[in-house]
Amino acid sequence: MLRTRRNLTKAFAISGACGASYAYGKWGLTPLDYPEMAIRSGRLGMTVVKIVKNFGDMKKLSPEAYKEQMPEFHLRTAQMLYDMCCANRGTYIKVGQHIGAMEYLLPIQYIDRFKTLHADAPKSTEAEIRSVVRAELGKDLEEVFDEWDWDPLGAASLAQCHKARLKETGEVVAVKVQHAAVQHSAHLDLMLMELGVMQCAKLFPEFKLGWLARTTRQNLPRELDFLNEASNADRCRQLMKDIPWLKIPKNLHKYCTSRLLVMEYLPGTMVSNKQELNQRKIDVDKTVERVTEMYSEMIFNHGFIHCDPHPGNVLVNKGKDGYPEIVLLDHGLYETISQDFQYNYSMLWRSMIRGDQKSLRKASAALNVESMFPLLAAMVSGRSWQSVKQGLKNTESITKKEDELIQAEISMWIPEMSEILEHIPKQMILVLKTNDLLRGLETTLGCRPGVASFVHMSEYCLRMMYAVEKLNRPSWKLYFDFQKETWAIFFYKMYLRTTKWGGEKVTDLLHGTKDERMVEWDKAFERTSS
């Protein structure tokens, strides 16, 4: 273990020196920036060394003690990573927010610790904001804005947003200002993170974390360019123009640059704030229905998906008709998905809803993880394998007991889940974040069973699959099957809305040991392969 710690420390020191030389030529950093780079690199290196040491101590324990102390280990590790991310800011906050959005994919200790970064990200100082405005617009802040509220509307990993009034037009706007140091530190941060991932892969080959480094590397440059965000918002607004209750702030392109975004000011209540939604008499069930419809439209109809779906980016107001209006913010990251992916993802969902294990395995094979299709189904649905194989339409909504059992067992499956995340298409990773948002809202807002996201998503899956299949093999049988399923979903929704479900009964393979669950999986494989 001592040699491991020395090797890790040496690797980070060498990478810091190489990174400094490389950054000097590529990103225009000067030797004056090197002390800050060294400090940030040192924080990352020391955190990794401490975690490795702690995990090494854990592996020395007996199996019983290991299982008993694992929650405490996760709690300590989550706090160390959180402290490091907050100290380094910028890119590290973005990665931390990504971790905080991976509910049902990571132990609850990490989710609870990192999800606070969506609301409590470190803030830029007044001097830093003034410097960015001056650099981007060529004028002092007071020359452009008559009023400026220094208490930010929200602070995120890469930027923060302020309410202001334009001097030229008197219009009230929201101004998104990139943190001053993010742009020139992001590339070095990514290089160091990738080094950390490689070192962890050597020490713990069972944990596949390359997907996290690749996803961040691919997405960060797009998120740093606010002109790209303005373009995404314009495209999304055009694609979704037929949804009257969806509001996307318009950008004032005259004032927009790569680090400054001036947009229409559209306030609202955060979608997860049940108390305020109730105070404003906004229907939480209808809210979840509409958020589900919004994301289903993106995934299944347009193939252009908003990929930062945390509650802080989804606001709710009460419309003139008394129903919820949704305000969608932060359009820096979108993913365009192919029709093949839409079809395979639709097949996956329809199979889970029906409990059709043969189709479920076929869809998982198309997503590159056929051999682990039960675990993929559990990750996508947020339900136990027992619930999925019965068919989600035939099971109760997830109970508190089932949710607690799933969370308690997640740490046992982290290596297998990381294997799945390493092999599924990159679009799937971003779609999983959307699933987590929808499931989290259903739980947080306490929605009735009839608004469960899988019910509404099944309608979009059905239409999407029918549209593709009728091009390949049009027939009256296909049409009648489509109509039959459409009406079945309609009557099922009516049934849910007039029937009170409840109870704590959970028949779940999570009651058993890991070996028992593997036996259950083997049985599933035997049935579906026959």
Q: Is residue 415 part of a domain?
A: yes
Whether 3 and 73 map to the same domain: the answer is yes
Residues of the chain under the 50 pLDDT cut: 1-2, 4-5, 8, 11-28, 449-451, 500-530
Bridge pairing between strands 246-247 and 314-318: unpaired
Whether 257 and 397 map to the same domain: the answer is no
**Alpha carbons 200 and 207: distance in angstroms, whole number:** 8
Q: Is residue 240 part of a domain?
A: yes
Whether 371 and 489 map to the same domain: the answer is yes
Q: Is residue 367 part of a domain?
A: yes
Whether 96 and 139 map to the same domain: the answer is no
Q: Is residue 477 part of a domain?
A: yes
In 3-state terms, what secondary structure has residue 78? helix
Select which of 308, 403, 436, 508 is catalytic: 308
Q: What is the CATH number of the domain that holds 246?
A: 3.30.200
Q: Is residue 298 part of a domain?
A: no
DSSP sequence for 8-66: HHHHHHHHHHHHHHHHHHHT---GGGHHHHHHHHHHHHHHHHHHHHHHHHHHTS-HHHH
Annotated active-site residue 515? The verdict is: no
What integer pLDDT is reported at residue 44 of this predicted model?
78
If you search the block for the tokens 């289903």, which residue do you land on?
A: 296
Whether 498 and 362 map to the same domain: the answer is yes
Q: Which helix (H) or strand (E) holds 297?
A: none
Name which of 97, 100, 109 is nearest 407 in CA terms: 109
Tokens (6 digits) for 159: 């930027």
pLDDT in tens, 420-465: 888 888 788 778 877 777 777 877 787 754 445 666 777 787 888 8
Whether 188 and 87 map to the same domain: the answer is yes
| Count of structural domains within the chain | 3
With beta carbons less than 8 A apart as the criterion, state whether 448 and 497 touch.
yes
What integer pLDDT is reported at residue 118 of this predicted model?
65
Q: Is residue 169 part of a domain?
A: yes
Whether 379 and 441 map to the same domain: the answer is yes
Whether 233 and 208 map to the same domain: the answer is no
Whether 239 and 145 map to the same domain: the answer is yes
Q: Is residue 129 part of a domain?
A: yes
Whether 506 and 466 map to the same domain: the answer is yes
Judge residue 165's burial from the number of C-beta atoms within 10 Å of its C-beta, 0-12 exposed, 13-18 middle, 19 or more buried: middle
Whether 340 and 482 map to the same domain: the answer is yes
Tell me, what amino acid is at 279?
Answer: Q
With beta carbons less than 8 A apart as the criterion, state whether 405 and 509 touch.
no
In 3-state terms, what secondary structure has residue 326? strand
Tokens (6 digits) for 364: 């998982």
> Which of the listed residues 218, 243, 275 is the one where a domain comes to its end?
218
> Which of the listed residues 239, 266, 293 is the one where a domain comes to its end?
266
What integer pLDDT is reported at residue 323 of this predicted model?
93
Q: Model's pTM, two decimal places? A: 0.75
Judge residue 68's burial from the number of C-beta atoms within 10 Å of its C-beta, 0-12 exposed, 13-18 middle, 19 or more buried: exposed
Host domain of residue 376: 336-510
Whether 208 and 233 map to the same domain: the answer is no
pLDDT in tens, 166-177: 999 999 999 999
What integer pLDDT is reported at residue 263 of this predicted model?
97
What integer pLDDT is reported at residue 512 of this predicted model?
39
